[in-house]
Homo-oligomer: A and B are copies of this chain.
């Protein structure tokens, strides 16, 4: 059997991850026990949530044990199987790791997928995967947008945010996106159909608050929040009565001591709410979400960008793009 390159977590990052926290090693491909199958990973999803799994505390998942490969959702092909229902050659998707080969278990988190159902097999990691389903259920269920409302999306050029903006337009809302830099802002309006875009770069909290007020003359009814920090604080200053903030992520705070949210009193003034959302709660409804998203995609109402980097040896640089904001679309690492 070929060697198995594995991208290991060797040290828990202190703030921003550095190259030395990880190590790419080569190990023999493991033997299979009864009920197991070997997956040749082809693509891995790189997600901000993985940063939390690297900490000792973990979050909604146990922490990645030191010396283990970095946990990630992957898609690949069954190479060899001692498990019923998983034959060699079958495409599968599951929570595996950044490595050439992962071992799956029947009845575990890895499920067969059908590449003929989607334009590209990688779409299972974007529009029809956690990203698309986070946007779909997080926005439609948690934020409950109504026609004519104003929706503010932060991290709007990101994988989830760009889909939320498009969903907002489909639902008849005014969609305002916040992103970093003129290139991304242009993408928001030209490619994802946002009504207008705000460039957060070079703006302090007061300037952001003013920019949001100008972009949202009727106030903000819904915030889909991916960022936190002064961007969330500026959004809170523009809430309408009974506004809803769907809290999807706080990427600005993952690698640093959080600055803290200081305008929470606006929730009282506006009788508004912040509600945390996690796509895992909707797994049983993924079929419903994927069907609807597929319909909108086929009708040209939703586009999704995928940013595919190549090679396990580039795992660190690709992962760090998420925090530098240098990816254009859903961050995917091509392993083979």
Contacts and interface: CB of A to CB of B under 8 A. Distances in A.
Interface residues of chain A: helix, strand, loop or mixed (majority):
loop
**Assembly stoichiometry (copies):** 2
Contact of A271 (B258, B263, B281): B281
A260 B259 CA distance: 7
Contacts of A259: 260, 262
Interface residues of A, number: 32
B274 A278 contact: no
Contacts of A201: none
Interface stretch (A65-73, A246-254, A289-297): A246-254
Contact of A258 (B249, B253, B260, B272): B260
A228 interface: yes
A164 to B, nearest CB: 16
Nearest to A265: B250
B260 A228 contact: no
A253 B274 contact: no
Nearest to A239: B276
A259 B274 CA distance: 19
A261 interface: yes
A4 to B, nearest CB: 32
A267 B267 CA distance: 15
B271 A273 contact: no
B281 A276 contact: no
Q: Report the 9 A-B pairs with minimum CB-CB distance, sorted nearest first.
A: A260-B260, A267-B276, A268-B276, A273-B275, A258-B262, A260-B262, A261-B261, A274-B274, A59-B269
Interface of A: 52, 59-60, 228, 247-250, 253, 257-278, 281
